[in-house]
Amino acid sequence: MPRPPSPPAAAPPHRGCFVALEGGDGAGKTTQRDLLGSWLRGLGHEVVLTREPGGTPLGRVLRDAVLHGEDVDPRTEALLYATDRAHHVHSLVRPALARGAVVITDRYLDSSVAYQGSGRGLGPAEIRDLSLWAAEGLVPDLTILLDVDPATGDARRTGDPDRIEREPTEFHRQVRHHFLDLAAAAPERYLVLDAALPREQIHAAARARVAGLLPAPGPALTGRQR
């Protein structure tokens, strides 16, 4: 069973709340992120909605390169994701958490562990360590795993598939199983939900779990959409 990601002892604390949405392509992560954001803003929280890769201007360049550019080898792919993560955490996520915001990201380091570590065969432990180094040990307060069968995710896709989406079904099955293994290894930090459920039912379950993690709300602010 994979080692659960855990921050180094020296990782600095934060005042806000950090939530990651993980799962296979077509799981509905962006939809659930946006629903949580609307609910939290209604409670008076500052909310920052973001994604990996692509949560910053530099990240959007890296996203285009890794998902829509020329084919790259697995190690280069992993390093591009790690580069995006390092910049994303340093320039956007940590500053928002430090001022008490709720940060919700569509994908984070578990995606690298599952896709590049397991799916690409680079080694989950190695990619985990690389990701934690890039993120300076920052792990989410909660990871919501939207579990989706690859065939269901594929049927939900609109538009042309990117490099990762074009991988064969067996690749996506392996990624799915590794996501589930990560959640089973640290159940206190994960909420696993069936992505086939109605979106409002998924949102209600996510909202109930997030509610217990929230900081005291400050003045209502407009969250930044990346």
For every residue of the chain, which 3-state class applies, written as one string?
A: CCCCCCCCCCCCCCCCEEEEEEECCCCCHHHHHHHHHHHHHHCCCCEEEEECCCCCHHHHHHHHHHHHCCCCCHHHHHHHHHHHHHHHHHHHHHHHHHCCCEEEEECCHHHHHHHHHHHCCCCHHHHHHHHHHHCCCCCCCEEEEEECCHHHHHHHCCCCCCCCCCCCHHHHHHHHHHHHHHHHHCHHHEEEEECCCCHHHHHHHHHHHHHCCCCCCCCCCCCCEC
- Residue 221 pLDDT class (50, 70, 90 cuts): very low
Measured distance CA(128)–CA(1) in Å, rounded: 14
Domains and CATH numbers, the chain: 17-211 (3.40.50.300)
165-219 tens-digit pLDDT: 888 899 999 999 999 999 999 999 999 999 999 999 999 999 999 999 998 776 5
Q: Count of alpha carbons within 13 Å of 177, Cβ hemisphere only?
A: 9
Measured distance CA(223)–CA(226) in Å, rounded: 10
Prediction pTM value: 0.88
Measured distance CA(6)–CA(83) in Å, rounded: 20
pLDDT mean over 131-158? 89
- Residue 13 pLDDT class (50, 70, 90 cuts): low
Question: How much is the pLDDT for 10?
Answer: 47
